[in-house]
Amino acid sequence: MLIVKEVSKTYNSHVVLKEINLTLKKGVLGVVGPNGSGKSTLLKMIAGLEKPTCGRILFRDKDITKLSANKRVELGIVYTFQIPKPFYRLTVLENVAVGCMVRDKKNAKKRALRICKMMGIEHLADREAKVLSQGELKLLELAKVISTEPEIILLDEPFAALDKENAIIVKEKLMEFKRVGYKMMVTAHRFKILKDVADKFIEVREGRIRSDLDVKS
Amino acid sequence: MVKVKEKIELQIPILAILLILPLFTNFYYFWLFTLASIFASYTLSWYLMEKFCGRTSLGHTLPFGLTAYLSAIAYFFNYPLQLLPLVALIVALLSTFIFYITSMLDRVKFVFATFLYSVLLWEIAPFIVLKKDILYGGEEGFSIALIPPNIIYILSSTLLIAVFVFTILLHKSSLGLKMMAVRDDEEAALAIGIDVKRIKLLNSFISSLFTSFAGLIYILHFSHIDPDVFSVENAIFPFIASVFAGNFVTPVLGSYLLIFASKALNTISPQFHLVLYALLLIISPKLRRISNAHS
């Protein structure tokens, strides 16, 4: 279980997030809100890529607030960037293999190939990431995330900059992840795009969580 | 995989030729080839940082020159030659610490900060004066015992082979892959579970260690050292020598070419080789783009 307790974030006296409280026990939590509302900052703080100004983050009853991002990946919390950040000069297979090494160095490439197949990008395995299209990059990001064998996946705007066709493919993959049992937090500008994926929603607006509604209700 | 293997199979004979060739030359060329192999080790050690962690250092004269300098000073205080590798190790550790701290800066600042180290050492070195019966040090530098050239040749060849083999092994290893991930994007590497700080520290250590040993063989080769070991010319040498870098033998080849070309140009006019350095610096961005695309 992941608990965010009274977490705030301030940049040079500008309050981005104020006293955020949330809990992720299971399923998929949709985080919606306009640009600049603090959605990405919230996810980055949970991932350890940003430090909260105050508050605590607990995972499996342990305080992980001061734990580095790479240690959190080892625990099972992994983050994907809104704008894909592949290792551009590495091949697709190597990109995924890097993630596999978090758990086991020995069979990293074999497992990476299996993940590439699962994500439908095995035909790109030997290509350098710098030549991939936006849609392919998103799939690579998802493959990298899975390669670390996570418990919680933090997806920052997974549908951003995608055409309809690619958005459908990414959505299908997220549904697959959900069926497998990954816990996820997914951000988006609008509620509509996440309604099939998320079980529950929160809205972040002006640095605060404004709503907490059940999508099925 | 096959491609990599083919590339390596092409590189090894080139390296072998460069190392065997001096055995069939006269004394002067034997000496020059040995010098070139020392600088090739220096460049390849520098390239380990550039290729694997994306950090362009203009401060590798720190481990290179400082090892040479401190070895000469240690020798002055009757420290046995056989224990000089310990000096190289200490300088490597010091350089690791300095490069690691500097690697917290962004890539552009890293270049300038490391360049500052070179310039500072170049400025400070003339003030290192040891007094015994006569004034010793300063602009004149220090000397150590003469070592037979064939021993220097064996040492420099061994070091070059060691750095080369290590580089290839690192390229194939999981550690190498992690380093290249850090090179491409530090934040993304952190987000996928790589301990970026540890990787940078390891990379700094590996690069510094080999560079320090190159510096040690350099002082043994010349039997003398002066402040010019920290010169801007030496600081930019690995950068220029690896402008054609695509695989691991090209920085080695570049070093040999640069050493031989420098000697040839200096027969026209002293320091004329700096014109070549300047020209290569000017066209280096384009050459690097081309060689990266081909690799």
Q: What is the pLDDT of residues B206-261, one digit of tens each?
A: 999 999 999 999 999 999 999 999 999 999 999 999 987 678 898 999 999 999 99
Q: What is the pLDDT of residues A88-129, one digit of tens each?
A: 999 999 999 999 998 888 889 999 999 999 999 999 999 999
Query: Using 50, 70 and 90 to split pLDDT, how confident is the model at B132?
Result: low
Q: What is the mean pLDDT of residues B59-85?
A: 92
Contact between B187 and A49 using a beta-carbon 8 Å cutoff: yes
Contact between B178 and A85 using a beta-carbon 8 Å cutoff: no
Q: What is the pLDDT of residues B3-31, one digit of tens each?
A: 445 567 788 889 999 999 999 999 999 99
Chain B residues touching residue A105 (CB < 8 angstroms)? 174
Helix (H) or strand (E) holding A30: strand A28-32
Q: What is the Cα–Cα distance from B90 to B83, expressed in whole angstroms?
A: 12
pLDDT score at A213: 55
Contact between A87 and B189 using a beta-carbon 8 Å cutoff: yes
Residue B143, SS3 per DSSP: strand
Contact between B185 and A49 using a beta-carbon 8 Å cutoff: no
ipTM of the complex: 0.91
Contact between A102 and B178 using a beta-carbon 8 Å cutoff: no
pLDDT in tens, chain A (217 residues): 899 999 999 988 888 898 989 999 889 999 998 888 889 999 999 999 999 999 999 999 899 999 999 999 999 999 999 999 999 999 999 999 999 998 888 889 999 999 999 999 999 999 999 999 999 999 999 999 999 999 999 999 998 888 888 889 999 999 999 999 999 999 988 778 888 888 888 988 888 887 655 544 4
Query: Using 50, 70 and 90 to split pLDDT, how confident is the model at B2?
Result: very low
pLDDT score at A177: 92
pTM of the prediction? 0.90
Which residues of chain B are at the A interface, by a Cβ-Cβ cutoff of 8 Å?
A: 174, 177-178, 180-181, 183-185, 187-196
Statement: residue B284 has pLDDT above 90:
no
Q: Residue A217 class from Cβ within 10 Å (0-12 exposed, 13-18 middle, 19+ buried)?
A: exposed
Helix (H) or strand (E) holding B264: helix B250-268
**Residue B119, CB half-sphere, CA atoms under 13 Å: how many?**
6
Chain B residues touching residue A73 (CB < 8 angstroms)? 191-193
Chain B residues touching residue A148 (CB < 8 angstroms)? 192-193
**B242 is written with which tokens?**
């690896």
Contact between A49 and B180 using a beta-carbon 8 Å cutoff: no
pLDDT score at B1: 41
